[in-house]
Amino acid sequence: MSLKALIFDVDGTLANTERDGHLIAFNLAFKELRLDWAWSNELYHQLLDVTGGQLRIKHYLKNHKPEFECEDVDAFAKKVHGLKTQIYVRLVDTGAIPLRTGVVRLFNEAHKAGLRLAIATTTTPANVDALIINTLGKEALDWFEVIGAGDCVPNLKPAGDVYRWVLEQMNLAPNQAIAFEDSHNGIVAATEAGLKTLVTINEYTESHNFDGAMTVLNHLGEPDTPFHLITGDKTDATYVNVDYLKELYAKYC
């Protein structure tokens, strides 16, 4: 067996979309709907334990606004979330959210090396398209053979469904690919699908448990911006490139 594919999470892994996009969009949607809710960064940090925007809204209602009167919680969450998605896409369309360190370089190198690329996320498909188009250009959508998003499977992460779905679409076994994640829920999902994972942390996930990760880094790094190894075997690599991925693959997959 050899390494054939790289499967990327989106939120928190490709870009800091949670802090710079989703949180802002949720709050703007609340305002537009005249809800006197304002999620702070601290609260959002906690709410991120629940993946998926609609589920997050319902969780918030149940646990933080039990007095809120609503006949049909599902329909209400859908309405708020629909508006939030429109606002999020508009925000991404302004170019406000760059990709994280090393992401563009790694996509290019992997693409050139013939590795197959895919996405496995719990977010809404329109959000993924907007991020890719606005950071890499429309043609980059074709770099991703499969985009598995929140609408493809019944159970969101930490369930392994989206990773299993992506592997099935690509006709790959789990030990032919590597997953890229930033969160505990993400690594649990990838591991449940049988994948080995490289983790890049961010401000919301730095204290998460990443047991089972091949390696945990602060970011993917660049030739002039080395990554910081948080956990994992020592390596001569200073940034994540195809050679380093092959080194990890040979050791763990």
Choosing among ligand XBP, Mg ion, none, which partner's interface includes residue 161 (Cβ < 5 to 8 Å by kind)?
none
Q: Which of 3, 9, 25, 158 binds Mg ion (CB under 5 A)?
A: 9
Q: Which of 3, 5, 7, 11 binds Mg ion (CB under 5 A)?
A: 11
Q: In 10 A of CB 71, how many CB atoms?
A: 6
Instruction: Map the footprint of Mg ion across residues 128-147, applying CB under 5 A.
Output: none
The DSSP symbol for 67 reads T
Residue 105, both tokens: 């370089």
Q: What is the C-alpha to C-alpha distance for residues 19 and 26, in angstroms, rounded to an integer?
A: 11
User: C-beta of 208: minimal distance to Mg ion in Å?
Assistant: 10
User: C-beta of 205: minimal distance to Mg ion in Å?
Assistant: 8
245 three-class SS: helix
Q: What is the C-alpha to C-alpha distance for residues 123 and 153, in angstroms, rounded to an integer?
A: 12
**161 makes contact with Mg ion (CB under 5 A):** no
Q: Which is nearer to ligand XBP, 198 or 237 (CB)?
A: 198
Residue 117, both tokens: 């690329």
Cβ-defined contacts of 235-239 (< 8 Å, 24+): 239/102, 239/105
Q: How many residues does the chain have?
A: 253
Residue 94, both tokens: 């302004």
How far is the CA of 186 from the CAs of 75, 113, 173, in angstroms?
A: 27, 26, 19
**182 makes contact with Mg ion (CB under 5 A):** yes
- Interface ranges with ligand XBP (CB under 6 A): 9-12, 18, 22, 51-53, 85, 121-124, 127, 150, 157, 183, 185-186
Residue in the shown chain whose Cβ atom is closest to Mg ion? 12
Q: Which is nearer to ligand XBP, 130 or 170 (CB)?
A: 130
Q: Which is nearer to Mg ion, 10 or 170 (CB)?
A: 10
Q: Which stretch binds Mg ion (CB under 5 A): 76-84, 142-150, 177-185, 231-239?
A: 177-185
User: C-beta of 247: minimal distance to ligand XBP in Å?
Assistant: 26
CB 237 within 8 A of CB 244: yes
What is the per-residue burial (b if ≥16 Cβ within 10 Å, else e) of 122-135?
Answer: bbbbebbbbbbebb
Q: Which is nearer to Mg ion, 12 or 174 (CB)?
A: 12
Q: Which is nearer to ligand XBP, 172 or 199 (CB)?
A: 199
Query: Would you please indicate which residues are annotated as catalytic (active-site) residues?
Result: 9, 11
User: C-beta of 112: minimal distance to ligand XBP in Å?
Assistant: 26
CB 178 within 8 A of CB 197: yes
Residues that bind Mg ion (CB under 5 A): 9, 11-12, 182-183, 186
